[in-house]
Amino acid sequence: DTAVSQTPKYLVTQMGNDKSIKCEQNLGHDTMYWYKQDSKKFLKIMFSYNNKELIINETVPNRFSPKSPDKAHLNLHINSLELGDSAVYFCASSQDPPNGGQETQYFGPGTRLLVL
Amino acid sequence: KNQVEQSPQSLIILEGKNCTLQCNYTVSPFSNLRWYKQDTGRGPVSLTIMTFSENTKSNGRYTATLDADTKQSSLHITASQLSDSASYICVARSGSSASKIIFGSGTRLSIRP
């Protein structure tokens, strides 16, 4: 079964709306991440989170917020959506504690967000 | 500025041929470098990881090299198969913090029968 899953797979919405993307991992990992992949295919980390620490990329607008109801889930909430938020958003997870930065991240299939 | 540059941007080769993808990185301090394969419509999957002390790492028909002096890495694919068609992304990491993971834009590889 899928190790890291995301819903929805596609999301089309109007500017100004608030939306959420859900992520679940069944690998028993302690750390989860959100990435944004833009039209030029660059992947940029937005957040990494475990039960001890939330690390936020300082370039991420505060309209984006991660919410973790439990260790297996990390949802991404986006307020007041803008055109520039259109992208593919990937969730990932890895085993904690980090192995000196060598832990392998397992990615979900992505959520394609289109803001009209 | 930490960055990762990949070349070529795209590549088309015939099935069965070999190819080499390039990656230049400027990440300091350097922790490790990883190559990912991203199939269309899917998330990236890790192929290899190398630290500064390793200069080659293989995973089946994929062989990655690392030159920490010139800050260059390559991914060599041997006897290509149609299933190798994907984007290959080079990722350099600075330290253990997740905020220091720098992705390249990838090389789009197409294998033709």
Determine whether B109 is exposed, middle or buried from the number of CB atoms within 10 Å of its CB (0-12, 13-18, 19+).
Answer: buried
Q: What is the pLDDT of residue A50?
A: 81
* Residues on chain B touching A102 (C-beta within 8 angstroms): 31-32, 49, 51
Q: Side by side, which strands form the sheet with B62-67?
A: B3-7, B19-26, B72-77, B62-67, B56-59
Q: Which residue of B has its CA nearest to A108?
A: B43
> What's the rounded Cα separation, in Å, for the pair B108 and A14?
31
- Find how far residue B81's CA is from the centre of its chain: 17
pLDDT at A97 > cutoff 70: no
DSSP per-residue codes, A44-63: EEEEEE-SS-EEE-TTS-TT
- Put simply, the answer to whether B31 touches A98 (Cβ < 8 Å) is no
- Put simply, the answer to whether B43 touches A108 (Cβ < 8 Å) is yes
* Residues on chain B touching A50 (C-beta within 8 angstroms): none
pLDDT at B27 > cutoff 90: no
**What are the pLDDT digits (tens) for B32-71?**
999 999 999 899 999 999 988 889 999 999 999 999 999 9
Q: What is the pLDDT of residue A99?
A: 54
**What are the pLDDT digits (tens) for B66-105?**
999 999 999 999 999 999 999 999 999 886 565 578 899 9
Q: Any chain A CB within 8 A of the CB of B31? A: yes
Q: What is the pLDDT of residue B109?
A: 97
DSSP state of A26: -
**What are the pLDDT digits (tens) for A38-81?**
887 788 889 888 876 787 777 889 999 999 888 899 999 999 99
| Lowest-pLDDT choice from A22-31, A88-97, B13-22 | A88-97
Q: Which residue of A has its CA nearest to B103?
A: A43
Q: Any chain A CB within 8 A of the CB of B9? A: no
Those of residues 44-83 in B touching chain A at CB distance below 8 A are: 44-46, 49, 51
- Put simply, the answer to whether A90 touches B96 (Cβ < 8 Å) is no
Question: How many residue pairs bridge chain A and chain B with CB atoms within 8 Å of each other?
Answer: 54
Identify residue B52 by its one-letter amino acid code: F
> What's the rounded Cα separation, in Å, for the pair B45 and B38?
6
| Nearest by Cα to B79 from B13, B11, B14, B17 | B17
> What's the rounded Cα separation, in Å, for the pair B49 and B57?
7
- Put simply, the answer to whether A44 touches B103 (Cβ < 8 Å) is yes
Q: What sign has the CA pseudo-torsion B58, B63, B67, B73?
A: negative
> What's the rounded Cα separation, in Å, for the pair B20 and A46?
31
Q: What is the pLDDT of residue A2?
A: 67
Q: What is the pLDDT of residue A53?
A: 77
